[in-house]
């Protein structure tokens, strides 16, 4: 998926890292609102052994949730939530889950369409102010559906080297949507709308603005009303409400690719107020959301079918599975079968959630460390294939 460019690691060498805070264990206390029977799950040992293995390889901490119709839900944790204070990871602990929020953004837009408040083939320009639309190439032509499917061709602001430099020079800066959009301004679109697919965070900033325009309130409040509260996702929130909330596990990066991590909890403030990232959650809540979505509890059959309408890129990524783009969701072809998925990362955090339509298995996991050698265990194609095969086969 869309990853922060490797220049990040080099520039971070020049950045000052905040020392680990002294935090009492009670800060990380959490629990579920149901009776967790994971220890009795027939696959308990297999699942726990996997995350223990990943931690032994160098991942700082890991949480995971697996649902299979025949064996029910399993939730587990391994490693450390906080190295400085020697706090063990709990299955319920929350962390940043990055771009997985795009599936929530897309679901919310589709729910608005389902309610008759918009048409997916409407141009986004019909809803947003001209001073936003006129700044960005293709924004005057792209439809809502094309933004959802990353087929708008709109330039991805994160790829602007000036943005990368500015953000890395101030890693705790909290960026506004307008500031981020300015880095897509004047940049030529990748292609004409609808002719190809290419990941664009810029498009999802515009979709967040669309939600706000229609509902008259911040998009993350609409998430609360339409998704978080109805599904009882009590451990899920958006960073705009509190960028570093109580209970969030510390994040770490393998800065030198030597499995010698430095803390990065307070880094990465560019998605705190935009719908392209900024979600805070845990694998249990992500799993609940994915199962509800696929079970028509949020979208009816018509709109779920539209979400699962696929378009493949003209130039496949040779370093990842064969992939096709849906509306805020991806379909990948793995040795274990077709999976729907969305991953996400922030500086020091990685998350992934997958659903296998052949048997309704869903998997969600989160790590509080990334980059360097750690990516080899959590986010590459080989890492993803290893995790899937260990859990599903």
Whether the per-residue pLDDT at 5 is higher than 50: the answer is no
Q: pLDDT tens across 281-304, in order?
A: 999 999 999 999 999 999 999 999
As its CATH architecture, domain 7-16+26-392 has 3-Layer(aba) Sandwich (3.40)
Q: Kindly tell me if the per-residue pLDDT of 372 is higher than 80.
A: yes
Nearest 5°: CA angle at 120, between 115 and 122? 115
* Average pLDDT rounded to a whole number, residues 332-358: 97
pTM reported for the whole predicted model:
0.95
Count H helices, E strands: the chain? 13, 14
pLDDT at 234 over 60: yes
Check whether 13 has a pLDDT greater than 70: no
| Cβ neighbours of residue 313 closer than 8 Å, sequence gap 6 or more | 196, 197, 198, 323, 325
Domain boundaries, the chain: 7-16+26-392
Helix (H, G, I), strand (E, B) or coil at 20: coil
| 83: number of Cβ within 10 Å | 18
Average pLDDT, the chain: 94
| Neighbouring residues of 254: CB distance < 8 A, sequence distance ≥ 6 | 58, 260, 261, 369, 370, 371, 372, 373, 374, 375
Smallest CA-to-CA distance from 383 within 360, 368, 367 is with 367
Predicted confidence (pLDDT) at residue 6 exceeds the cutoff of 90: no
What span, in angstroms and rounded, lies between the C-alpha atoms of 78 and 62? 5
How many angstroms from the chain centroid is the CA of residue 243? 15
């Amino acid at each position: 998926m869309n990853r922060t460019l490797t220049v990040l690691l080099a520039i971070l060498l020049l950045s000052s890292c905040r020392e680990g805070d002294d935090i009492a264990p009670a800060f990380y206390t959490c629990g579920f609102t149901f009776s967790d029977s994971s220890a009795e799950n027939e696959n308990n040992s297999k699942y726990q052994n996997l995350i223990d293995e990943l931690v032994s390889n160098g991942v700082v901490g890991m949480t995971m949730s697996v649902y299979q119709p025949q064996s029910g839900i399993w939730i587990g944790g391994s490693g450390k939530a906080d190295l400085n204070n020697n706090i063990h990871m709990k299955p319920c602990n929350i962390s940043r889950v990055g771009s997985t929020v795009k599936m929530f953004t897309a679901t919310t837009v589709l729910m608005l369409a389902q309610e008759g408040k918009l048409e997916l083939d409407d141009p986004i320009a019909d809803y947003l102010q001209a001073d936003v639309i006129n700044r960005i190439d293709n924004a005057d032509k792209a439809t809502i559906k094309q933004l959802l499917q990353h087929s708008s061709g709109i330039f991805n602001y994160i790829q602007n080297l000036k943005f990368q430099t500015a953000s890395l020079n101030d890693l705790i800066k909290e960026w506004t949507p307008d500031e981020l959009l300015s880095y897509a301004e004047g940049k030529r679109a990748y292609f004409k709308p609808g002719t190809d697919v290419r990941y664009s965070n810029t498009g999802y900033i515009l979709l967040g603005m669309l939600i706000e325009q229609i509902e008259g309130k911040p998009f993350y409040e609409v998430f609360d009303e339409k998704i978080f509260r109805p599904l009882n996702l009590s451990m899920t929130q958006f960073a705009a409400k509190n960028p570093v909330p109580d209970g969030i596990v510390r994040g770490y990066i393998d800065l030198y690719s030597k499995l010698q991590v430095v803390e990065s909890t307070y880094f990465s403030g560019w998605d705190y107020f935009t719908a392209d990232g900024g979600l805070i959650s845990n694998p249990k809540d992500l799993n609940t959301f994915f199962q509800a979505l696929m079970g028509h509890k949020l979208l009816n059959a018509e709109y779920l079918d539209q979400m699962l309408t696929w378009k493949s890129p003209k130039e496949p990524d040779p370093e990842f599975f064969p992939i096709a783009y849906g509306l805020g969701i991806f379909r990948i072809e793995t040795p274990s079968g077709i999976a729907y998925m969305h991953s996400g990362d922030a500086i020091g955090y990685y998350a992934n959630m997958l659903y296998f339509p052949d048997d309704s298995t869903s998997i969600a996991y989160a790590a509080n460390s990334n980059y360097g050698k750690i990516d080899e265990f959590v986010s590459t194609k080989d890492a993803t294939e290893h995790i899937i095969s260990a859990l599903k086969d």
